[in-house]
Amino acid sequence: MRGRTFRRSFHLACAVLALSAASAKAQDFYAGKTIDFIIGADVGGGYDIYSRTIGRHLARFIPGHPNVLPKNMPGASSAVAAATLYNISPKDGTAIGALMPGAVLDRVFDSRTAGNFVPSKFAYLASADSGTRVCITFNTSKVKDMASARAHEAIFGASAGGGSTRDYAAMIAKTAGAKFRIVSGYKGTTDILLAMERGEVDGLCGFDWNSLKSQKPDWLRDKKINILLQIALEPNAELNQLNVPILWNFVTKDDDRKALELIVSQQVFLRSYIAPPGTPETQVKMLREAFARTLADPEFLSDAAKAKIDINPSSGEKVQKVVETLYATPADVVARARELMTP
């Protein structure tokens, strides 16, 4: 009996030592390393502001405290960044990315449009915000509310297909009766905002409310814009106070509503952060924990408040489940949503 007890104790001690060694190895993995933080958007936009603000704090919560190096890689509504992370970046935990929701959602609608990657295979680390999007016009436009948007044609600037500025303008024109003439080809929201100031376009749709507040607080303060519509699954309290109507008030067809709910559900992971498929589970776990701790950290939240960005985080596990649900959507709903987002 004593021999058996000794052997059990010995094996238990060996197991504990092995686990401790594995834990120590995981803790030391990031020491002296650099994490490339690939941002799938241009410099100065909302996605860039969020990612760089998070990146300044993230290393404090990663064992080994690696350097976190932001790298902007705009193009095709984050599809260029997504393809790079999927096919080229190292899959050892030293590469992470920030993606626009369209890069995640596009392949639900057409497997050919999302590039050489499968969005559902990424490891989702967190989302910093689940938010509301808006349609706006500059104060010089004759379109100042949804009533005039349904009565008069207005030019709306947009990026490429898959970007919210094009897809949302198209779906609102088709379901809510707005007479938007969409001009695509702008690099991003920063360029569209400049075009609004120059009078090239009346406005844009699919712009994140939090980005508007952080990038153009003077526009709101000085009443330089008209907010035509809010787009979200649930109404936004701030926009309700400004008497901005929600999209659902203008949608009359049930099949349109189901398709729009699919499209708008991407706003649950409005600011999603990923690791390439194949990243070891140990590193994924560490990165998810680091994002969770960063997004709840008082020092980070103070920095976020200065940058005028709202933080409404979702865990990586939650985002992963939402993405899996999206990819199980019935084909008829997907088909209608695809139609709505095509100008």
Q: Does 200 reside within a domain?
A: yes
> Considering 226, 248, 264, which residue would you say is the last residue of a domain?
264
Helix (H) / strand (E) element for 155: namely strand 154-157
At CB < 8 A and 24+ separation, what contacts does 220-227 make?
223/139, 224/138, 224/139, 225/136, 225/137, 225/138, 225/139, 225/196, 226/136, 226/137, 226/138, 226/139, 226/141, 226/143, 226/144, 226/145, 227/134, 227/135, 227/136
Question: What CATH number does the domain containing 182 carry?
Answer: 3.40.190.10
Cα–Cα distances in angstroms (integers) from residue 163 to residues 74, 76, 79, 106, 336, in the given order: 12, 8, 10, 9, 18
Q: Is the pLDDT of residue 274 over 60?
A: yes
Q: Does 6 reside within a domain?
A: no
> Considering 213, 229, 264, which residue would you say is the last residue of a domain?
264
Please give the DSSP secondary-structure letter assigned to residue 301: H
Query: Mind listing the pLDDT tens digit for each residue in 312-343?
Result: 899 999 999 989 988 889 999 999 998 999 88
Instruction: Assess whether 76 and 139 both reside in one domain.
Output: no
Q: Does 11 reside within a domain?
A: no
Range of the domain at 146: 133-264
Contact 62, 11 (CB under 8 A): no
pLDDT band at 114 (very low <50, low <70, confident <90, very high): very low
> Considering 201, 232, 264, which residue would you say is the last residue of a domain?
264
Provide mean pLDDT across the span 161-172.
89
Q: Does 14 reside within a domain?
A: no
Instruction: Assess whether 91 and 140 both reside in one domain.
Output: no
Q: Is the pLDDT of residue 113 over 90?
A: no
Query: Mind listing the pLDDT tens digit for each residue in 10-54?
Result: 555 444 444 344 445 656 899 999 999 999 999 988 899 999 999
Instruction: Assess whether 252 and 303 both reside in one domain.
Output: no
Please give the DSSP secondary-structure letter assigned to residue 44: T
Count up the domains in the chain and report the number.
2
